[in-house]
Amino acid sequence: MTDSMRAVLSEQALQSWGGRIGAEARTPLVLCLRGDLGAGKSTLARAIAHGAGVEGDVPSPTYNLLFRYDLPAGGVLWHLDLYRLEDEEEVWELGWAELGGAGDLVLIEWPERAERLLPPIRWEIELTEEADPAVRAVAARAVGDPPPLPPMEDR
């Protein structure tokens, strides 16, 4: 298994990769999505959700903090946005202890807000804006021994 990968991706390539992650995910799988505002975290999360079979709108949970989607193949996709957390202990009120069950696909935006509480087995995905606003640098790194992710395809 490759424990890290990097690529420069267009929005279309980012969405394609996200769709493949969702479609091919071996659960439980936790993905921590890092990057500045506007870096593409929600775009990637939305593509992963659609790839996993979530239909319809997949809004960013910025104000709700957490959305739950039942997956057609069984299991649950949890999409968290921790940007508005004032204290990392607030994640317990969201049902943090229940996340990451056998069939769960967990997407965490702004994971640095709960750094101490992150699971020991996960993928860290960093999205960075480039000089060309049409692309993002994407770096993925395994922590522990998570299930593999599909390879990225440049642009």
Spell out the domain ranges in the chain. Answer: 4-143
CATH of domain 4-143: 3.40.50.300
C-alpha dihedral, 27 to 45 to 151 to 137, nearest 10°: -150
Planar angle of CA 39, 45, 46, nearest 5 degrees: 110
- Output the pTM of the full model: 0.92
**Which pLDDT value is given to residue 46?**
95
**Which pLDDT value is given to residue 53?**
93
**Which pLDDT value is given to residue 101?**
82
Q: Please identify every stretch of the chain with a pLDDT value under 70, giving residue numbers as ranges.
A: 1-2, 61-63, 155
The tokens describing 51, both together, are 């790839």
